[in-house]
């Protein structure tokens, strides 16, 4: 992720938005340059990501883009994968991960920094720094690591449902979290999870890790509901995407957030263009004083005592 951010910042000198602002272009007209910058970033980020991947994992054996492939397929190609099924998967992935209601850290950071009239390169780089956070972009690799650990602990995907239930229950009772399950906002199964789940069922239903994912989908929400651990115990997309990447040969978990960054460029920068077109003001979060903090803490304490 550090290399991705450095690559984006290296391109910032090409910003048409920055040049237009410096030449006193009226603010209400800057959306045009924001659009041009955003289109350029979206076009170039897959190549930067492909360069990073080949540099780190393939000794600098770089692969250039093909003029005969679309953006998603070209991204796979530059990584070194030319399976048509992976092309199809990446098209789905880029669409369903392009945005997250604008509220995810990476998407919101782009808009927050852009609200100061920072150019799209600066704003998108800020979003990618947020994407590198363990509670955001790294959730994909954490979920896949957990699935692999379950497979190791229980001897593969042929585990009995009752054994898996006991395993999950013991982990929750020991204070562990189950990555990929439970979400602050989702009150049902993540539709992005469903999209990729159906893709797996159609293309590689016998993949051992996918077989384990199917059983976890049945077991984990039921155990969580019974123990009252979380309000919304449904699987989100993090619970499956690592399995999909792994099936196609993309095993390098530390690269997963970079793939998310490629997708997030499409949605977050589209929002940034609209922000400039609508001339939205700079974001200024409300501030509070110590009296407010003390009153808030007291109200929360009183509520917990009443519930007890």
Q: What are the catalytic residues? A: 136, 183, 238
Return d(Cα 4, Cα 236) in angstroms, integer: 26
Among 69, 52, 39, 75, which residue's Cα sits nearest to residue 3?
A: 52
Among 183, 184, 206, which residue's Cα sits nearest to residue 193?
A: 183
How far is residue 246 from each of residues 36, 132, 210, 230, 249, measured CA to CA in Å?
A: 35, 20, 10, 29, 5
Contacts of 48 (CB under 8 A, 6+ apart): 4, 7, 8
Phi, psi (degrees; rounded to nearest 5) at 8: -65, -45
CB 261 within 8 A of CB 106: yes
How far is residue 253 from each of residues 181, 204, 239, measured CA to CA in Å?
A: 19, 20, 14
């Amino acid at each position: 992720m550090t290399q991705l951010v450095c690559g984006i910042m290296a391109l910032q000198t090409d910003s048409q938005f920055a040049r237009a602002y410096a030449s006193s272009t009226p603010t209400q007209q800057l959306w045009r340059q924001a659009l041009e910058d955003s289109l350029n970033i979206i076009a170039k980020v897959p190549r930067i990501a492909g360069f990073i991947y080949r540099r780190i994992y393939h000794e600098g054996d770089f692969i250039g883009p093909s003029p005969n492939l679309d953006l998603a397929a070209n991204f796979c190609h530059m990584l070194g994968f030319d399976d048509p099924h992976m092309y199809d998967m990446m098209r789905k992935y880029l669409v369903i991960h392009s945005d997250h209601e604008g509220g995810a850290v990476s998407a919101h950071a782009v808009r927050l920094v852009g609200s100061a009239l920072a150019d799209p390169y600066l704003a998108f780089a800020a979003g990618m720094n947020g994407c590198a956070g363990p509670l955001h972009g790294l959730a994909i690799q954490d979920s896949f690591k957990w699935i692999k650990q379950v497979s190791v602990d229980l001897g593969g995907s042929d585990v009995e449902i009752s054994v898996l239930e006991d395993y999950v229950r013991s982990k929750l009772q020991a204070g562990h979290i189950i990555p990929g399950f439970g979400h602050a906002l989702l009150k049902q199964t993540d539709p992005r999870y469903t999209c990729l789940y159906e893709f797996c069922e159609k293309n590689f239903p016998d993949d051992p890790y996918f077989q384990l994912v199917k059983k976890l989908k049945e077991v984990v929400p039921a155990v969580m509901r019974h123990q009252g651990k979380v309000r919304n115990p449904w699987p989100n997309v993090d619970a499956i995407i690592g399995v999909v990447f792994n099936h196609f040969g993309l095993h390098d978990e530390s690269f997963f957030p970079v793939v998310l960054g490629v997708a997030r460029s499409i949605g977050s920068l589209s929002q940034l263009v609209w922000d400039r077109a609508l001339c939205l003001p700079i974001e200024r979060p409300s501030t509070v004083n110590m009296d407010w903090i003390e009153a808030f803490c007291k109200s929360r304490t009183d509520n917990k005592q009443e519930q007890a």
